[in-house]
Amino acid sequence: MIDQGRQLAVRAAVRLDAGVNAEMALDQELQAVGIDHPHRPRATDLFYQTIRWQIRLDHALGRCLTRPLRDLQPEVRAILRLGALELLIEAHPAYAVVDTSVSLAAKLAPAAKGMVNAVLRRLSREGDGPDDEDPVQALAIRYAHPRWLVERWLARFGESDTVAIMQWDNTRPQLWLRVNRNKGTVAAYEDQFQVTGDHHPLVPGAIAVSAQPVRKLAGFREGWVSPQGVGSQLVASSLPLAAGWPVADVCAGHGTKALALLERVGKLDLLAGDLKPEALRLIGEEARRLGVRAPRTRSMDAAHPPTELHGSFQAVLVDAPCSGLGTLQRHPELRHRCQLDDVRRLAEDQARILSGSSELVAAGGVLQYAVCSLEVEETTGVVLDFLDHHPDFSASADQRWLLPCRERTEGFFIATLTRSRL
């Protein structure tokens, strides 16, 4: 009998292999089976675990193949990677892994049954093989991160923290929620909905619960909670705010941080802007669910904001589009898709966005810059370049780095810049 969870994971992996976004690739498969399908959690876990460990899995499989893995049929690649995951990372019994993998091949790629059997049997005997003689390459393979990124982290953080970050990236992420402070505290939420979860020392309003579809979250329909990572919650909670302030979130996306700001201080004159108008479409509906006044929305290019808005806001939040390399735990596919050239290109975009957004800040106002990345080009590089070209702004001393291995958050950088009153 075919394991449906494994079959769903393989089919989603084939979509990912074709260039589809990981979340969308999985959703497209899961939508067909429904929200309450019993194999949904297993398929989700196998799919993301295989992506997390792909570099190590491919290295091990490459030793057992007579031709490059990339030349195989996508279904066969996915079946072999999943089998390698269960053998090398999850330590399942070899006979069970080989048997179920061959059965899956019989359904999805019948001509490859013999090869799948032979490759996984050899892998079960030989394992990962010896470490690479190059110590950096050995670390990159063992912890399944791209070499170029490992080299950079070793130079900046040292081996101990680099390994700790990679280990964090390879753990299964928790589902963090933001409790709506207008409804009550985390303790009140737990009591009312009979929920227990992990708390975070840096964010009193955060709680982690077991992974599940958002619509099934206790208290979601009633507006008690919203899914939001801890690092993202810290960005929203660290922006200086006061009642009555005109505030702009210029890269608002779907409005997660904008709505968190409104939960903090209801009487804000808040503008949520984004380059893509479709991203803003559901903010009003979400505001109604949460019981907060909906922000104004406007399609705008933060690098070139409308001149009539210049100097209009006491606080401006720039959560800029970035590489996302601080979120490899939740978005593991970025290790395979993001390259150093992408980081440099994004840093140029971020510099333009920060410079353009600064025009919106009133005298004495605050400009907050945040990215979910740890790369110098996207963080201090952007801020220092901005300050060189904008002498009317100064940086506060409390620029914040969130290292995943230390703070149990996504990797984030947050800088607060203040415009002079002159």
In this structure, the answer to whether residues 409 and 290 fall within a common structural domain is yes
What total of structural domains would you count in the chain? 4
pLDDT above 70 covers what percent of the chain? 99
Q: What residue type is assigned to position 199 of the chain?
A: H
In this structure, the answer to whether residues 202 and 86 fall within a common structural domain is no
In this structure, the answer to whether residues 367 and 392 fall within a common structural domain is yes
In this structure, the answer to whether residues 244 and 212 fall within a common structural domain is no
In this structure, the answer to whether residues 245 and 383 fall within a common structural domain is yes
In this structure, the answer to whether residues 110 and 19 fall within a common structural domain is yes
In this structure, the answer to whether residues 326 and 307 fall within a common structural domain is yes
In this structure, the answer to whether residues 393 and 308 fall within a common structural domain is yes
Which pLDDT tens digit goes with each residue over 283-304? 999 999 999 999 999 999 999 9
Domain of 381 in residue numbering reads as: 235-419
Q: What residue type is assigned to position 139 of the chain?
A: L
In this structure, the answer to whether residues 372 and 294 fall within a common structural domain is yes
State the angle between helix axes of 147-169 and 135-142 in degrees (0 to 180), rounded to the nearest 10.
40
Q: Which residues are catalytic?
A: 372
Which pLDDT tens digit goes with each residue over 66-118? 999 999 999 999 999 999 999 999 999 999 999 999 999 999 999 999 999 99
- In the predicted model, is pLDDT for residue 421 greater than 90? no
Which pLDDT tens digit goes with each residue over 167-224? 999 999 999 999 999 999 999 999 999 999 999 999 999 999 988 888 889 999 999 9
* Residue showing tokens 């979860």: 197
Pairing of strands 269-274, 361-371: unpaired
In this structure, the answer to whether residues 385 and 364 fall within a common structural domain is yes
The pLDDT, as a whole number, for residue 2 is 66
Using CA atoms, how far residue 407 sits from 109, 187, 397, in Å, is: 44, 22, 19
Mean pLDDT in residue range 239-256: 96
The burial of 291, by beta-carbon neighbours within 10 Å (0-12 exposed, 13-18 middle, 19 or more buried), is given as middle
Kindly report the CATH number assigned to the domain that includes residue 47. 1.10.940.10
- In the predicted model, is pLDDT for residue 269 greater than 60? yes
- In the predicted model, is pLDDT for residue 244 greater than 60? yes
- In the predicted model, is pLDDT for residue 34 greater than 80? no
The pLDDT, as a whole number, for residue 422 is 67
In this structure, the answer to whether residues 157 and 205 fall within a common structural domain is no
Which pLDDT tens digit goes with each residue over 355-405? 999 999 999 999 999 999 999 999 999 999 999 999 999 998 778 999 998
Total-model pTM: 0.94
In this structure, the answer to whether residues 280 and 394 fall within a common structural domain is yes
Last residue of a domain, one of 108, 126, 144: 126
Kindly report the CATH number assigned to the domain that includes residue 207. 3.30.70.1170
Instruction: Identify which of 219, 389, 236, 370 has the alpha carbon closest to the alpha carbon of residue 290.
Output: 219
Mean pLDDT of the chain: 95
Q: What residue type is assigned to position 166 of the chain?
A: M
CB atoms within 10 A of CB 405: 18
Kindly report the CATH number assigned to the domain that includes residue 265. 3.40.50.150
- In the predicted model, is pLDDT for residue 37 greater than 80? no
Q: How far apart are CA 21 and CA 15, in angstroms?
A: 8
Please write down the HEC assignment for all residues of the chain.
Answer: CCCHHHHHHHHHHHHHHCCCCHHHHHHHHHHHHCCCCCCHHHHHHHHHHHHHCHHHHHHHHHHHCCCCHHHCCHHHHHHHHHHHHHHHHCCCCHHHHHHHHHHHHHHHCHHHHHHHHHHHHHHHHHCCCCCCCCHHHHHHHHCCCCHHHHHHHHHHHHHHHHHHHHHHHCCCCCEEEEECCCCCCHHHHHHHHCCCCEEECCEEEEEEECCCCHHHCCCCCCCCEEECCHHHHHHHHHCCCCCCCEEEECCCCCCHHHHHHHHHCCCCEEEEEECCHHHHCCHHHHHHHHCCCCCEEEECCCCCCCHHHCCCEEEEEEECCCCCCCCCCCCCCHHHHCCHHHHHHHHHHHHHHHHHHHCCEEEEEEEEEEECCCCHHHCHHHHHHHHHHCCCEEECCCCEEECHHHHCCCCEEEEEEEECCC
